[in-house]
Amino acid sequence: MNTNTAVLLLRFKDPQKVYNLAGRVYTNMLAGESIFSSPNPSMKELDVEIMKLGNALIAKDRSKIKNQAIVDQTDVVYVMLKLLIFYVNKVASGDRGIILLSGFDCNNERVAHSIPGKALIRRIDDGSVFCSAKVYLDPLYDADRFKVEITSTLDDAESWKKIFDFGGINKLEVRDLAYGQKIYIRVSRGNTHGWGTPSEPMVFIPR
């Protein structure tokens, strides 16, 4: 007889994937707090550590110190997820529905994933090279790829040009832009199930 259990389907501790899963578990368990009434660690504690990881991902650059900070914080969140799996399995007692409600995958059935929602650009700064733009987004729980598009004609829906996609949240830099030419930038977030709605366009003047 097969027993339903919550499982951690992360072969490697990829920071973005750990961040995405932790966000999903946090959202689901908070929504189902009548069932998951006393998680250990608490959702407040998990939320704090998720935010730390999200901020570390946004701040990532080529600095060894910042990169190590991401590794260390990923370990913290990963351990919390492992502890929560024990809690969920105790509460669920083999009930597949309760396991999936928690946001964790079940050993006999994965959580039904959805296409990410609308992206939100936090700000756009000058990039690392001449005439480039660095795009900063709000942390995203359910996306593992991002698509950047630009246009100089906002009222022409056909004018949007895709610069790249499948870039991580720390690689959203657009280069080789025309000096002094006002452009509009928008970003879409996606996962293996498709692309979400593009963000509201934000204006930028390369220099």
Task: Assess whether pLDDT exceeds 60 at residue 1.
Answer: no
pLDDT at 113: 62
Task: Assess whether pLDDT exceeds 90 at residue 56.
Answer: no
- Burial per residue of 145-181, b for 16 or more beta-carbon CB atoms within 10 angstroms, e otherwise: bbbbbbbeeeeeeeeeeebeeebebbebbbeebeeee
Task: Assess whether pLDDT exceeds 70 at residue 170.
Answer: no
pLDDT at 168: 66
CATH architecture of 121-204: Sandwich (2.60)
Q: Tell me the domain boundaries of the chain.
A: 6-106, 121-204
> In angstroms, rounded to a whole number, what is the distance separating the alpha carbons of residues 17 and 140?
11
Q: SS3 sequence, 109-124? A: ECCCCCCCCCCCEEEE
C-alpha torsion sign, points 163, 153, 125, 131: positive
- The first and second tokens of residue 25, run together, are 């578990």
